[in-house]
């Protein structure tokens, strides 16, 4: 048996138990893809991230749900970067690059209120219209079509990972949501492996502009993501694409996780640029504990 050390961090909060958990495995170069998947399954978090050497960037990151590898994960990136920075593994650099399956992305560091805050650039946003059954979609999260805000489109969005953005009329609907994720693939005919990301412009906290929940694809082996980085970024791109087409730049906070006892905050900045959009998220993280996963030799 081989013991693998996994470090439990939580992103988008500085308080243990209130952010989004991620497993981080440092120095993962000698692990096979199958071993990474086995570790992620054993850890059981929505994502576990593996830190590897990179030839064209400062580090390479690979992200695994308990069920499969994904191309990019915001909260696991924040966890890995916070861990590398606080452990002195990035020297004194205020900016680094990460190699991911969607390309090389820049990360910047700053100190706010005595803690490290990371800014992560995401991939160019892409959107695909949802053309499935809206009534069945609402029922799959225990809502009716009256709960949906159909003044905005339901679209798949990606800044590295695909999710279905579902506009909701009122904040009160979020407490009613119960995902039946086994129904998702048959409803998501254009992208059966997509997650669901209901959101609204009513918020609980006055400093936030959007409230959200995030329901995982059944293929990932998890049910709900407490605080979502990539989906928060794509919500900013959604806002400039579908809600306010005249604004050049938007900067706001997404709140997420209250319905499941979490309290995460993601700062989102999106600005238009020639040929696309610059999508960035900011957040902090906190170390929770160390775990050991026993691997068969």
Is 108 catalytic? The answer is no
DSSP-assigned beta bridge partners for residue 178: none
Q: Which of 215, 212, 262 is nearest to 236 (CA)?
A: 212
Phi and psi of 33, rounded to 5°?
Answer: -60, -40
Angle of the 74-86 helix axis to the 229-238 helix axis, nearest 10: 120
* Distance between CA atoms of residues 174 and 172, nearest Å: 6
Classify strands 276-283 and 162-167 as parallel, antiparallel or unpaired: unpaired
Of 10, 33, 47, 135, which residue is the catalytic one? 47
* Distance between CA atoms of residues 137 and 133, nearest Å: 6
Q: Is residue 34 exposed (0-12), middle (13-18) or buried (19+ Cβ within 10 Å)?
A: exposed
Give the other-Cβ count within 10 Å of 272's Cβ: 16
Please give the span between the terminal C-alpha atoms of the chain, in angstroms, as a whole number. 5
Handedness of CA 189, 179, 287, 86 (dihedral sign): positive
Q: Is residue 162 within 8 Å of 155, Cβ to Cβ?
A: no
Output the six-digit token pair for 37. 């998947």
Positions annotated as catalytic residues are 47
């Amino acid at each position: 048996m081989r013991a693998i050390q996994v470090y439990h961090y939580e992103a988008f909060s500085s308080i243990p138990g209130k952010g989004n958990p991620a497993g981080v495995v440092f120095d993962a170069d000698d692990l096979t893809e199958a071993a990474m998947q086995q570790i992620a399954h054993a850890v059981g978090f929505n994502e576990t991230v593996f830190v590897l050497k990179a030839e064209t960037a400062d580090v390479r990151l690979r992200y695994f749900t308990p069920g499969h590898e994904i191309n990019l994960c915001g909260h696991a990136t924040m966890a890995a970067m916070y861990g590398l920075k606080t452990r002195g593994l990035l020297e004194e650099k205020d900016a680094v690059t990460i190699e991911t399956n969607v390309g090389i992305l820049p990360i910047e560091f700053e100190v706010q209120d005595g803690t490290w805050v990371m800014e992560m650039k995401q991939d160019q946003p892409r959107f695909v219209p949802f053309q499935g059954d809206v009534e069945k979609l609402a029922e799959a999260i225990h809502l009716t079509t009256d709960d949906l805000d159909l003044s905005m489109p339901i679209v798949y969005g990606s800044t590295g990972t695909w999710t279905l953005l579902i506009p909701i009329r009122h904040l009160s609907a979020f407490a009613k949501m119960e995902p039946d994720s086994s129904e998702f693939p048959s409803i998501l005919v254009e992208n059966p492996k997509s997650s669901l990301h209901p959101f609204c412009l009513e918020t609980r906290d006055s400093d936030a502009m959007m409230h959200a929940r995030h329901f995982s694809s059944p293929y990932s082996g998890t049910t709900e993501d407490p605080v979502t980085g990539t989906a928060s970024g794509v919500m900013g791109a959604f806002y400039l694409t579908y809600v306010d087409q005249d604004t050049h730049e938007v900067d706001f906070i997404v709140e997420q996780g209250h319905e499941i006892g979490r309290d995460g905050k993601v700062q989102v900045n999106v600005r238009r640029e020639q040929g696309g959009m610059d999508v960035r998220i900011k957040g902090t993280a906190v170390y929770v504990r160390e775990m050991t996963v026993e691997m068969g030799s």
